[in-house]
Amino acid sequence: MYKVLGKDIYKDFLKALISDFEFIGPVKKDKAVYDFVPIKNISEMDTNYKTTTIPPAKKILFLPTERLVTYEVGKNIKVSPVNESSEKILFGINAWDINGMNFLDEFFTRDFIDENYIQKRKKLIVIGMDSQPNENNFALSMGTEYARDGFDIYLTELKDKYFVRIGTARGNEIIKKYTKASEASAGDFKEYDRYMDNYRMKFNLNVDIKNFYDNFELIYNDEEFWKKIAKNCYSCGSCNLVCPTCFCFNVKDDIELNLKKGNKTREWDSCMIPEYGLVAGGHNFRADKENRLKQRYRCKLKTFLDKFGKYACVGCGRCIEACLAKINIAEDINSVKKEVSV
Amino acid sequence: MALKIRDADKSNIYVPELARINKIQKVSPTEKLFDIILDDEVKQNNFNFKPGQFVELTIFGLGEAPFSITSNPNKKEFFQLCIRDTGNVSSALHRMEEGSKIGIRGPFGNGYFPYDKMRNHNILLIAGGLGLAPLMSLIKYILHYREDYKEIMIIYGAVNPESILFKNDVQYFSDRSDISICVSVDNPDDKWSGEIGVCTKLIPRVDFPVEETYVVVCGPPVMYKFVIIELEEKHYLPEKIFLSLERRMECGIGKCNHCHIGDKLVCVDGPVFSLWQIKNLKEAI
């Protein structure tokens, strides 16, 4: 469903949402850092961000650490699940981060349903908004510069109005209850279409992903190539921490200080750190950093094309910015292509 | 992936079932055999598993780890795990006593030995060290329906006579006339009269016809390389050779991703793979 929202009533719309909902939006933390945090007043918000360090949806839906199970120890052990969630609005998330969330949605509901993820997801009202790509963003090449679904409402800023795409019945209810949006006219569609053409021209970084699927296999055993690519890797896992689609986790059991209660807690893990493939007895199934990086690229750019029909990389460029060793996934995708076609 | 969404089951997939260790037997200097019974009688009776599957075992307050089930799937009163004292969870388990409470999730994994297709075939089972533990479940299953299969041969390699697992079962198998077992040790003692050396050396002696034979292998990663060479030398078919892979498996349900090999996950796509699948999985061996 398509509507338009006048800029004159946009602020009142947000104010009403902020007063009625737990509301999370982008704020400028310091000169260069943006983050999504709870908003109490509209003036705190700054929607002109290009990227955030931590992906907004992942940080809400798949917490860095989360209690899954709690138990009483001692004579009578009692085990109970833990699953805390509350209704929230996530405002201002951009298209590629919505697509990253869509990937996690699919991942955590395939085969075994992860209730801890999906309860939070069901209660998250997503209001998307375009943001401008920075120089490390290759979302256009990955086909994620546009969000087809995953949002309740999506706002695109035109000259004196917002073009509103409504994705769910819940989104429609919110628009009806909190503002006066009118039907989008043929003229509005024209303006939106021009805007999107213009918007897509702003993505300056392109990757040649088309033949990666086959080329990757050809280059897989080329040790020299991978050693060169992973040469400077510190195995620190920063790339995983900032990735909107990385989902690896550990589950650990801890006992509380009173020795009466224990918890199973999950925490984000990283496929780049050496202990990732370590098993009891001391054998490490992926001891070399070049193999770990190679497996990361396979997971991002190949595995889920077979499983879900989409990449597990949205081209946001966060890992490029986070990497202290200047490992650049966009360059590496292109060098696989170059190396093979020479 | 082969698993279906379990719509009816809305419970938290990380919550373990309470269970008790009913019996502990020391089976070698480093391994113990644990009989486990779920507290919930109905769940224990419905605890159906296939040979090759594993459970996630929780020691409350300490941690969780995956272990292959070693008992006969037809035995419903309890199930057994044969565990080596080597990691955090396993060494804590070795310190526990009969009657202790633990948590169990599972069974997990495909446990995909193609039993139906294996019927009317010869079965060659090759186990190295603790690899006999998961295979034991399959051996007992096959023996339960002995008449369905042609010849059955077990090749088992251990480090020394002391470390031979399931000694009673091994003796029982060698006493039976409808199954042959050949045990080889790397380091014999004075009393040892059997084969000496790595168990792969015994493969050339197998004379099962290629078309009518399934091969199942379980052992440490290093053993697989050499076993595969020997099996290929004899032209056994890669789609009729099955191997069980070990990886770090934190969740057992395809979420935590630690057991990724190429595009497969050992916990849901395996842990049992055919050699054909493994040949297409770089890094597997």
> What does pLDDT average to in each consecutive run of 10 residues of chain B (285 residues)?
40 90 95 96 94 95 95 94 94 96 94 82 95 94 94 95 94 94 94 91 92 94 92 94 91 92 90 91 81
Chain B closest-CA separation from residue A199 CA (Å): 35
Q: Closest approach of chain A CAs to the CA of B251, in angstroms?
A: 7
DSSP code at position B107? E
- Within a domain: A267: yes
Looking at the domain assignment, is residue A56 inside a domain?
A: yes
Would A207 be classed as within a structural domain?
no
Predicted pLDDT at A191: 97
| Number of separate domains in chain A | 2
Query: Are B149 and B123 contacting, i.e. CB atoms less than 8 angstroms apart?
Result: yes
Is residue A15 domain-shared with residue A50, that is, in the same domain?
yes
State the average pLDDT for chain A: 94
- Whether pLDDT at A184 is above 90: yes
pTM across the whole model: 0.93
CB B5 to CB A109 under 8 A?
A: yes
For the stretch A146-172, pLDDT in tens is 999 999 999 999 999 999 999 999 999
Residue B180 identity (one-letter amino acid): S
Judge if A196 and A220 occupy the same domain: no
Q: Which residues are paired to B123 by β-bridges?
A: B152, B214
Residue A15 inside a domain? The answer is yes
Question: Do A127 and A235 fall within a single domain?
Answer: no
A46 with A152, same domain?
A: yes
**Residue B15 forms contact with A (CB below 8 Å):** yes
Q: Which helix (H) or strand (E) holds A333?
A: helix A329-341
Last residue in a domain, options A144, A167, A200:
A200
Q: What is the pLDDT of residue B10?
A: 54
Closest partner residue to B257 (CB to CB) among A113, A114, A248 is: A248
Mean pLDDT of A75-94: 94
Kindly identify which residue of chain A lies nearest to residue B67, measuring between CA atoms: A280
Does residue A95 form part of some domain? yes
Of the partner residues A112, A280, A307, the one whose CB lies closest to the CB of residue B65: A280
Q: Are the Cβ atoms of B282 and A221 closer than 8 angstroms?
A: yes
Does some domain include residue A205? Answer: no
Phi, psi (5° rounding) for residue B49?
-140, 165
**Is residue A135 located within the same domain as residue A220?**
no
- The mean pLDDT value for A236-259 works out to 95
Do A41 and A156 lie in a common domain?
yes
Nearest to B67 by CA among B76, B57, B78: B57
CA–CA dist B204, B230 (Å, integer) = 7
**Cβ atoms of A308 and A106 closer than 8 Å:** yes
Q: Is B16 on the interface with A (CB under 8 A)?
A: yes
Distance CA B167, CA B178 (A): 18
Which residue segments constitute the domains of chain B, with CATH numbers given?
17-108 (2.40.30.10), 115-279 (3.40.50.80)
Q: Please give, rounded to a whole number of angstroms, the shortest distance from the CA of A194 to a CA of chain B.
A: 40
By DSSP bridging, strand B17-26 and strand A65-72 are unpaired
Tell me whether residues A249 and B15 touch, CB distance under 8 A.
Answer: no
Residue A289 falls within a domain, yes or no?
A: yes
Identify which of B4, B60, B262 has the shortest CB distance to residue A253. B60
The answer to whether A299 contacts B101, with C-beta atoms less than 8 Å apart, is no
In B170-189, the residues whose Cβ lies within 8 Å of chain A are: none
At A54 the pLDDT is 94
The verdict on A275 and A327 lying in the same domain is yes
Q: How far apart, in whole angstroms, are the C-alpha atoms of residue B7 and residue A45?
A: 40
Please give the pLDDT value at position A329: 96
Among the partner residues B61, B86, B283, nearest to A291 by beta-carbon distance: B283
Tokens of A176: 């009806």
Residue where a domain terminates, one of A131, A166, A200:
A200
Q: What pairing do the DSSP bridges indicate for beta strands A153-157 and A124-129?
A: parallel
Tokens in use for A306? 């077979």
**What is the mean pLDDT of the segment spanning A53-77?**
94
Question: From the CA of B211, how many Å to the nearest CA of chain A?
Answer: 32
In a domain, A206, yes or no: no
What is the span of the domain harbouring residue A110? 2-200
Q: Which residue in A has a C-alpha nearest to residue B248's C-alpha?
A: A279
In angstroms, the CA A146 to CA A196 distance is: 9
> In terms of domains, do A164 and A224 share one?
no
From the list A115, A252, A307, the residue facing B12 with the nearest CB is A115
Q: Where does a domain end: A150, A171, A200?
A: A200
Contact B258 A276 (CB under 8 A): yes
Output the pLDDT for position A255. Answer: 93
State which H helix or E strand residue A174 sits in.
helix A169-178
Does residue A240 sit in the same domain as residue A128? no
Q: Residues near A108 by Cβ (< 8 Å), separated by ≥ 6? A: A62, A114, A117, A118, A121, A247, B255
Picking from A73, A112, A278, the nearest residue to B6 by CB comes out as: A112
Give A106-155 as a 3 state SS string: HHHHCCCCCHHHHHHHHCEEEEEECCCCCCCCCHHHHCCCCCCCCCCEEE
A235 and A127 co-located in one domain: no
Q: For residue B77, with 0-12 CB atoms within 10 Å meaning exposed, 13-18 middle and 19 or more buried, which class applies? A: exposed
Q: Which residues of chain A are within 8 Å of residue B13 when distances are taken between CB atoms?
A: 112-115
**Whole-angstrom Cα distance, residue B13 to residue A334?**
40
Within this chain, do residues A237 and A192 fall inside the same structural domain, yes or no?
Answer: no
> Do A193 and A157 fall within a single domain?
yes
